[in-house]
């Protein structure tokens, strides 16, 4: 098979997509169903039309672009990722998997091959939690993990519901119709930048992902008692921030003592009221992320954090309230798909390591309905979700070649 990737075209398309943003370059901001997101969707759909792919979209805005194989009644081989971006992000997160997936299909088309199975590119809606506070919205719906009531229950900061926003964007119909049947895909591969430094540090060109970590997310509110910073003695204080700070340190401590470096804990949000230097904080809200590839180990840390919140609240005489936002199970990648990717790396003469994904991806949820694996490529310094996020054209081409080789195998 005379397989080749058009590296220059792929680089140009990634550059063009990065220019579709709510903020000026080099920052990329594309929040789901905003004007920038809708323009980016149209850009990618036009590229798919030009490639001769058959397009369809569901009620949530998930977009499917299919290269029809010899027997379209068979479950297709799938690939894809997302194009939405958090505020002030970079140009490669998600987009490498979408435009690289498209180029992998075009590369296979150029060989003259027509696969037995169809190959489908899937652009997921809202992998990022920016607008509605929940990540992987489209893939959760595809896997049947969100109720139809999410249409009304999920709201953005302006109070607009998911139903209102998607309808205004032109995506109509019941959310219940979005779910895909188990076995819809024969296999699914997501190409992605690593978003970490390991491949670069090890000077390895490709990562073959064997497991995907999943977070448990908590919202914790602490209610104390405000007062003047000079007039209230320390012995009399019910400082909401100090209680929240102690909970945050407990998150780190319990994650560190789990017995595995794959356990991580983060407090990424801290809102303090009233926020004056001479006023004792009376109310604090923090958000906690605990993740691991081992669900029992992660949940053990979660339970310890919840227990610590109760103890700290009692000792510091503040009210601590916790809300579990989600506790998704981690995913194991399919051994046969992993083996296919490893063989593709060997065929292409590319060094590779088997590794885990510590970041959240749509493949975590597609794993509920299909065999999945992921391909990682190095990114400079392990930097992601920043304007200086960078993956070299050669690294992107390497990942795309591996993806194309694997899809050819899986589609036959």
User: In a structure prediction context, what are the per-residue pLDDT tens digits for the chain, which is 412 residues long?
Assistant: 789 999 999 999 999 999 999 999 999 999 999 999 999 999 999 999 999 999 999 999 999 999 999 999 999 999 999 999 999 999 999 999 999 999 999 999 999 989 999 999 999 999 999 999 889 999 999 999 999 899 999 999 999 999 999 999 999 999 999 999 999 999 999 999 999 999 999 999 999 999 999 999 999 999 999 999 999 999 999 999 999 999 999 999 999 999 999 999 999 999 999 999 999 999 999 999 999 999 999 999 999 999 999 999 999 999 999 999 889 999 999 999 999 999 999 999 999 999 999 998 999 999 999 999 999 999 999 999 999 999 999 999 999 999 999 999 999 9
pTM for the full model? 0.91
Give the model's pLDDT for residue 133. 87
What pLDDT does residue 281 have? 98
b/e map 212-249, b = 16+ CB within 10 Å: bbbbbbbebbbbbbbbeeeebeeeebbbbbbbbbbbbe
Cα 190 from chain centroid?
Answer: 11
The encoded tokens of residue 57 equal: 């979209």
Measured CA to CA in angstroms, residue 76 lies from 261, 292, 334, 340 at distances of 37, 31, 16, 16
Three-state secondary-structure class, residue 167? helix
What are the CA-CA distances from residue 23 to residues 29, 31, 217, 369 (Å)?
6, 11, 29, 36
Q: What is the pairing mode between strands 279-280 and 214-223?
A: unpaired
The candidate with the shortest Cα–Cα distance to 83, out of 30, 143, 42, 132, is 30
Q: Which domains occur in the chain, in start order?
A: 7-213+330-411 (3.40.630.10), 218-327 (3.30.70.360)
User: Can you give the pLDDT at residue 326?
Assistant: 87
- Residue listed under structure tokens 């510590």: 358
Using CA atoms, how far residue 403 sits from 5, 209, 216, 296, 394, in Å, is 11, 13, 30, 32, 14
């Amino acid at each position: 098979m005379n397989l080749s990737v058009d590296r220059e075209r792929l680089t140009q398309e990634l550059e063009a997509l990065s220019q579709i943003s709510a903020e000026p370059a080099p920052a990329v901001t594309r929040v789901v169903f905003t004007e920038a997101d809708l323009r980016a969707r149209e850009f990618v759909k036009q590229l798919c039309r030009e490639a001769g792919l058959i397009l369809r979209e569901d009620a949530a805005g998930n977009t499917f672009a299919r290269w029809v194989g010899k027997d379209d009644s068979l479950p297709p081989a799938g690939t894809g990722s997302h194009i939405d971006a958090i505020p002030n992000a970079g140009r490669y997160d998600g987009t490498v998997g979408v435009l690289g997936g498209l180029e992998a299909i075009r590369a296979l088309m150029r060989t003259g091959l027509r696969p037995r199975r169809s190959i489908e590119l899937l652009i997921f809606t809202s992998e990022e939690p920016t607008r509605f506070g929940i990540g992987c919205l489209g893939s959760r719906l595809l896997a049947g993990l969100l109720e139809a009531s999410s249409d009304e229950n999920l709201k953005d900061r302006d109070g607009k519901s998911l139903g209102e926003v998607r309808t205004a964007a032109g995506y109509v119909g019941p959310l219940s119709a979005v779910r895909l049947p188990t076995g819809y895909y024969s296999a699914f591969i997501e190409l992605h930048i690593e978003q970490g430094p390991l491949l670069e540090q090890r000077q390895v060109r490709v990562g073959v992902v064997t497991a995907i970590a999943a977070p448990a997310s908590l919202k914790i509110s602490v209610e104390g008692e405000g007062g003047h910073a000079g007039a209230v003695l320390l012995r009399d204080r019910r400082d909401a921030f100090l209680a929240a700070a102690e909970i945050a340190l407990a998150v780190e401590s319990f994650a560190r003592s789990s017995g595995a470096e794959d356990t991580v804990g983060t407090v990424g949000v801290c809102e303090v009221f009233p926020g004056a230097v001479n006023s004792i904080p009376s109310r604090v809200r923090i958000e906690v992320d605990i993740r691991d590839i081992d669900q029992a180990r992660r949940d053990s840390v979660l339970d310890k954090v919840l227990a610590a919140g109760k103890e700290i609240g009692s000792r510091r005489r503040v009210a601590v309230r916790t809300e579990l936002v989600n506790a998704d199970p981690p995913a194991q990648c399919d051994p046969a798909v992993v083996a296919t990717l490893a063989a593709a790396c060997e065929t292409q003469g590319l060094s590779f390591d088997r590794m885990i994904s510590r970041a959240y991806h749509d493949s975590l949820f597609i794993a509920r309905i299909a065999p999945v694996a992921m391909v990682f490529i190095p990114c400079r310094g392990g930097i992601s979700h920043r304007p200086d996020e960078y993956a070299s054209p050669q690294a992107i081409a390497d990942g795309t070649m591996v993806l194309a080789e694997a899809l050819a195998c899986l589609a036959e």
